């Protein structure tokens, strides 16, 4: 098995649907992989909780089933190629955490889950210090990742994929300038399809400091953060030159296009399994000419319904 399912619980880190100790299982999974083959930890956002039936992430986007329980879900592990032991390019870890309840409750839980994610990264790095660790999270899952980063060992985390991240500039800057963060490459993947959700987050969740902005609306200028806007023709053209062809924008509003858009997982596989293709420099150039700082005009909305799980 090339996917290990781990949850952040009130008792700490636990295997999903298992009472067996985590550390021996983690060690066994790592020993099955060549020491330089990466670990990719994937985590979800709002409206999921391990063991919650149709709302369990391990039955949805973190499932190994190519056709998860929800008809519009897409299995991240399958899309990344984590389907067979022999052909898998690395070890996948599906990281679940309690994100049901209100948006405010999930926002708080994300911070707590981030501390447990840091503990997991620390364990992996202690067992195989030379192994690259990559992190991939959607929406509040990106908050989990950015919370974990300042508490992770220096040199442990190599790449971050932040999909439509639900986080503020100050938290992002603190994470990416921490000892572990400075040595990591972060990619923020977003689109105008998500702008309404970014605006809603700014209205509903108080910023950590005055004049702070959600990074999907105004990304911090950091040397190790690359913004890839999937609604930017220059970005799509640059990716196409790297033989990464992503479909153009298909919806006006969609929080899930960053993993449902045809072609995006070709990009994610390249970033995670083949870190030299595409290069950071090749992707950074067109983004600079397309400023991510904007404040779109949006109609009146029902904010809580915006963050439902089912793709639009």
Q: Is the CA virtual torsion 103, 63, 229, 150 positive or negative?
A: positive
User: Which pLDDT score, from 0 to 100, does residue 1 have?
Assistant: 59
Structure tokens at 6: 């781990």
User: Which pLDDT band holds residue 294 (cuts at 50, 70, 90)?
Assistant: very low
Per-residue pLDDT at 73: 84
Closest CA to 145 of 103, 106, 98, 95: 95
CA 285 to the chain's CA centroid: 23
Question: Residue with structure tokens 């040397």?
Answer: 223
CA distance 117 to 62: 16
pLDDT tens per residue across span 202-236: 999 999 999 999 999 999 999 999 999 999 998 89
Radius of gyration of the chain (CA): 18
How many CB atoms neighbour CB 130 within 10 A?
A: 8
Q: Is the pLDDT of residue 107 over 90?
A: yes
pLDDT digits (tens, 9 = 90+) for 11-67: 999 999 898 999 999 999 999 988 889 999 999 999 999 999 989 999 999 998 877
pLDDT grade for 102, boundaries at 50, 70 and 90: very high
Token couple for 97: 């955490």
Q: In the predicted model, what is the mean pLDDT of the chain? A: 88
Interval 189-195 mean pLDDT:
95
Q: What is the pLDDT of residue 38?
A: 95
Residue 298 pLDDT? 46
CA 195 to chain centre: 18
The larger pLDDT score, comparing residue 104 to residue 306, is at: 104
- Contact at 8 Å (CB) between 175 and 147? yes
Q: Would you say residue 290 has pLDDT above 70?
A: no
Q: What is the pLDDT of residue 251?
A: 85
Enumerate domains of the chain plus CATH numbers: 3-306 (3.40.50.1820)
pLDDT at residue 109 tops 80: yes
Q: Is the pLDDT of residue 299 over 70?
A: no
Asked, as a colleague might, if the bond just before 127 is cis with ω within 30 of 0, I would say: no
What is the 3-class SS of the chain, one letter each residue? CCEEEEEEECCEEEECCCCCCHHHHHHHHHHCCCCCCCEEEEECCCCCCCCCHHHCHHHCCCCCCCCCCCCCCCCHHHHCCCCCCCCCCCEEEEEECCCCCCHHHHHHHHHHHHHHHHHHHHHHHHHCCCCCEEEEEECHHHHHHHHHHHHCCCCCEEEEEEECCCCEHHHHHHHHCCHHHHCCEEEEEECHHHHHHHHHHHHHCCCCCCCCCECCCCCCCCCCEEEEECCCHHHHHHHHHCCCCCCCCCCCCCCCHHHHCCCHHHHHHHHHHCCCCCCHHHHHHHHHCCCCCCCCCCCCCCHHHHCCCCCC
The percent of residues above 70 in pLDDT, for the chain, comes to 86
Q: What is the pLDDT of residue 288?
A: 41
Lowest mean pLDDT among 80-84, 288-292, 295-299: 288-292
């Amino acid at each position: 098995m090339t996917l290990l399912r781990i949850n952040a619980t009130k008792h700490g880190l636990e295997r999903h649907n298992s009472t067996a100790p985590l550390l021996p299982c983690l060690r066994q999974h790592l020993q099955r992989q060549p020491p330089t083959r990466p670990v990719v930890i994937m985590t979800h956002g709002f409206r999921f909780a391990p063991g919650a039936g149709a709302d369990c992430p391990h039955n949805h986007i973190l499932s190994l089933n190519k056709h998860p329980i929800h008809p519009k879900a897409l299995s991240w592990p399958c899309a990344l190629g984590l389907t067979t032991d022999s052909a898998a390019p690395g070890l996948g870890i599906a990281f679940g955490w309690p994100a049901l309840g209100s948006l405010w409750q999930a926002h708080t839980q994300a911070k707590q889950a981030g501390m447990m994610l840091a503990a997991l990264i620390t364990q992996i790095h202690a067992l195989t210090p030379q192994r690259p660790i990559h992190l991939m999270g959607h929406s509040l899952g990106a908050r989990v990742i950015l919370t974990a980063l300042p508490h992770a060992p220096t040199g442990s985390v190599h790449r971050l994929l932040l999909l439509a991240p639900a986080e503020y500039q100050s938290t992002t800057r603190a994470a990416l300038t921490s000892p572990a963060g400075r040595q990591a490459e972060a990619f923020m993947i977003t689109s105008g399809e998500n702008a309404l959700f970014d605006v809603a987050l700014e209205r509903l969740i108080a910023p950590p400091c005055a004049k702070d902005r959600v990074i999907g609306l105004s990304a911090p200028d950091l040397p190790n953060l690359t913004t890839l806007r999937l609604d930017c023709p220059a970005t799509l053209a640059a990716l196409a030159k790297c033989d990464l062809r992503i479909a153009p924008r298909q919806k006006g509003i969609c929080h899930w296009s960053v993993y449902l858009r045809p072609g995006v997982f070709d990009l994610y596989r390249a970033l995670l399994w083949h870190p030299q293709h595409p290069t950071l420099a090749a992707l950074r150039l067109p983004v600079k000419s397309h400023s991510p700082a904007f404040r779109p005009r949006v109609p009146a909305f029902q904010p809580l319904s915006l963050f439902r799980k089912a793709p639009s």
